[in-house]
Amino acid sequence: MRTFFKNLYKYRYLLGELIKKDIKLKYRSSVLGFLWTMIEPLLTMIVLTLVFSNMLGKGDDNFPVYILCGRLLYSFFSNGTKTALKSIRKHGSMISKVYIPKYMYPLASILSSYLIFLISLIVLVGVAVVQKIQLTAYIFQALIPLVIILVMTMGVGLLLSTLNVFFRDLEYLWSVILMLIMYTCAIFYKVESLKNNSNEWIFKLNPLYSVIVMFRDAVFGRSIMAADSYHLYYSIAFSLGMFAVGMLVFWKKQDEFILYV
């Protein structure tokens, strides 16, 4: 782990260039360019609100903010893990020619997605103002789930980027798994509004759901520990554990990458 942080500092300028490159490539062919960072989640929120407000958000004036909180966090996790998954194969030619710590590639992919995600939070602030959400001191607790989801995405991303070198079908399998994760994140509905509330344990198995619950609590002026401290402890334990597993698997297999990319 010490070597990881040492190399991270040593190659920090290269990491910065890789992040810039990923962002430029993402919006290179787009007419609106970086504006899509804010337009896309806003349009998605409008569509989901129009479709589900009468069925699942009836009587909740803050339903658009509720949706947007979940949508933004899930989108980052989804985009971050998918780009990290492909990062080693994407840079295969560079890996075979130049030596740099190989985990720089998935980390750069994730950090570029995280930077875009942070900018997209401007949309959440704007919608919250329009919806007249009363901000409290608890809003600063939102930093906790924001850090947790970054660590979680890094851990999952490192593991996926390693496995994808050896199992190419993982890209398609992960898309299906992400769909399952999305539906157990309660993005456009509330778990307590479901007819069968006894199935809440299914949602609690999803650490991303716990992160979204905490983030929503902070935005809506509640302590992230007020309702259930389980979400905080579980998401932290899962994120740190997944990061350790991702780093260990990546570290042990990285020397074999050149044989497969």
Report pLDDT for 59: 57
Q: What are the structure tokens assigned to 67, written together?
A: 């949706």
Please report which confidence band the pLDDT of residue 34 belongs to, taking 50, 70 and 90 as the band edges.
Answer: low
Report pLDDT for 107: 94
Instruction: Tell me 104's DSSP state.
Output: H
Report pLDDT for 55: 62
**Whether the predicted pLDDT of 58 surpasses 60:** no
Greatest mean pLDDT among 52-56, 99-103, 140-144, 182-186 lies in: 140-144
Report pLDDT for 186: 85
**Whether the predicted pLDDT of 105 surpasses 70:** yes
Q: What are the structure tokens assigned to 36, written together?
A: 């899509």
Orientation of helix 207-219 relative to helix 143-166, angle to 10°: 160
Orientation of helix 104-130 relative to helix 36-56, angle to 10°: 60
For the stretch 200-226, pLDDT in tens is: 778 889 999 999 999 999 999 888 876
Average pLDDT on 33-62 reads 71
Mean pLDDT over each residue of the chain, to the nearest integer: 86
Sign of CA dihedral 132, 136, 139, 140: positive
Instruction: Tell me 134's DSSP state.
Output: -
Report pLDDT for 158: 96
For the stretch 156-199, pLDDT in tens is: 999 999 999 999 889 999 999 999 999 999 888 877 766 566 67
Against a cut of 0.85, is the pTM above it? yes
Whole-angstrom Cα distance, residue 123 to residue 129?
Answer: 10
Residue indicated by tokens 């492909």: 86
Q: What are the structure tokens assigned to 257, written together?
A: 């990458």
Whole-angstrom Cα distance, residue 221 to residue 201?
Answer: 25
**Domain residue ranges of the chain, discontinuous segments joined by +:** 2-259
Alpha-carbon radius of gyration of the chain: 19
Tell me which residue of 104, 67, 69 sits closest to 84, measured CA to CA: 104
- Return all residues near 45 (Cβ < 8 A) that are at least 6 apart: 64, 67, 68, 71, 123, 127
Average pLDDT on 107-119 reads 93
Q: Measured between alpha carbons, how far is residue 232 from residues 69, 81, 175, 222, 224 in Å?
A: 17, 22, 27, 14, 7
Average pLDDT on 235-259 reads 92
